[in-house]
Amino acid sequence: MTTRAEKFAGLSVAIVTPFRDGQVDYARLREQIDFQAEAGVTCICPVGTTGESPTLTHDEHQRVIAESIEAAAGRMLVMPGTGSNATAEALRLTRYAANSGADAALVVCPYYNRPTQQGIYEHFRALAESVDIPICVYNIPTRTGRNIEPETILRLAELPGIGMVKEATGSMDQASQILSSTNLTVLSGDDSMTLPLLSIGARGVISVVGNLVPADMRQLIEAFEAGDLATARSFHNRLFTLCRDLLGLASNPIPIKRALAMVGRDTGEVRLPLVSLEAPLADKLQKVLRAYGLELQKSLA
């Protein structure tokens, strides 16, 4: 069965939004995008969870989309986050992304208002029918308070505009049901689950750790695709603790932003209500980075 959005297979990186003095640092954003292009990633995903999209103003959200597309300059695909718990707002952002030249839209399940499965279906159907770029259904119930049930995703798969699923439920059964019953491209939404999901038919990952070590995650995927399972497992085992702690020490993107600062790629502060990583957790993160073999800034060593 041919997957529907094969060009998005591989490594996509959910990039951070740099801030400086309370404002989006667009110069540093471009530096981050250049870093990803040089690493050979398939796609960047700005203004998602890792990009702190809930704290961006409407104007900032749109400008980050536009700046990301311009900075990518055709070197990689761009799939910005355009989700909202209000369908009208998600429609506005998704249309803006499409009109700005985005290659796809990453759309999280509506959060907080806890729609029914029919409401979720109608939400995504409205988006899929409004633009010509593929929609990636982002299912992360720990963030949204509502799982998009497999049966709903199977219904969505009948819509031509739905091309992908970012699978972040942690359920291999759910992923297996989607993969066995649809031709959607499934991408891991959790770095440490990438190899297990690849083993059942997923095609890549939308990665947080890729902000830090994109080449290693890319090599994991490429080794698996080449049939070199020993090398893929080696990368998985090496990456595991780093991936776990970047998402487990505190809410994403608090740890990844601190890690980037520790290795000399400071992307600024997080925005309230997120706060900086507490000192004991920062000490643990330093140890994890050192153990991985990353060189820290002398002032932080």
Q: What is the pLDDT of residue 4?
A: 81
CB 202 within 8 A of CB 176: no
CB 32 within 8 A of CB 263: no
Mean pLDDT of 127-133: 97
CB 253 within 8 A of CB 208: yes
Per residue in 271-281, pLDDT tens? 999 999 999 99
Q: What is the mean pLDDT of the chain?
A: 96
Using the predicted structure, report yes or no on whether residue 300 has a pLDDT greater than 60: no
Angle at CA of residue 82, ends 79 and 83, nearest 5°: 130
Question: What is the rounded distance in angstroms from the CA atom of residue 106 to the CA atom of residue 136?
Answer: 5
Q: What is the pLDDT of residue 237?
A: 98
Question: What is the rounded distance in angstroms from the CA atom of residue 101 to the CA atom of residue 97?
Answer: 6
Question: What is the rounded distance in angstroms from the CA atom of residue 89 to the CA atom of residue 184?
Answer: 25
Domains and CATH numbers, the chain: 8-228 (3.20.20.70)
Structure tokens belonging to residue 52: 């702190």
Per residue in 235-250, pLDDT tens? 999 999 999 999 999 9
**Residue 230 to residues 116, 196, 200, 222, 289: CA-CA distances in angstroms?**
43, 13, 17, 12, 24
Structure tokens belonging to residue 188: 């891991």
Q: What is the pLDDT of residue 207?
A: 98
Using the predicted structure, report yes or no on whether residue 2 has a pLDDT greater than 70: no
Using the predicted structure, report yes or no on whether residue 99 has a pLDDT greater than 80: yes
Q: Is 49 exposed, middle or buried (0-12, 13-18, 19+ CB in 10 A)?
A: buried
Find how far residue 63's CA is from the centre of its chain. 19
Mean pLDDT of 117-140: 98
Using the predicted structure, report yes or no on whether residue 130 has a pLDDT greater than 70: yes
State the residue for tokens 């000192």: 279
Q: What percent of the chain has pLDDT over 90?
A: 97
Helices 26-39 + 214-225 axis angle, to 10: 30
40 backbone φψ class: left, alpha, beta (φ>0; ψ -120 to 50): left
Using the predicted structure, report yes or no on whether residue 258 has a pLDDT greater than 80: yes
Structure tokens belonging to residue 208: 């947080």
3-state helix, strand, coil in the chain (%, to 5): 50, 10, 40
Kindly state the DSSP code that residue 269 receives in the 8-state scheme: P
Residues taking part in catalysis: 138, 166
Using the predicted structure, report yes or no on whether residue 206 has a pLDDT greater than 90: yes
Tell which residue, 77, 68, 272, 70, has the closest CA to residue 187.
77
CB 18 within 8 A of CB 256: no
Q: What percent of the chain has pLDDT over 70?
A: 98
How many Cα atoms occupy the beta-carbon half-sphere of 284 within 13 Å?
13
Mean pLDDT of 46-58: 97
Q: What is the pLDDT of residue 1?
A: 44
Find all residues with CB under 8 Å of 301, minimum gap 6, and list them.
Answer: 286
Q: Kind of pairing, strands 23-24 and 185-188?
A: unpaired
Tell which residue, 274, 276, 285, 280, has the closest CA to residue 245.
285
Read off the pLDDT band of 9 (50, 70, 90): very high
Mean pLDDT of 78-95: 98
pTM of the model: 0.95
Using the predicted structure, report yes or no on whether residue 298 has a pLDDT greater than 80: no
Per residue in 142-152, pLDDT tens? 999 999 999 99
CB 102 within 8 A of CB 131: no
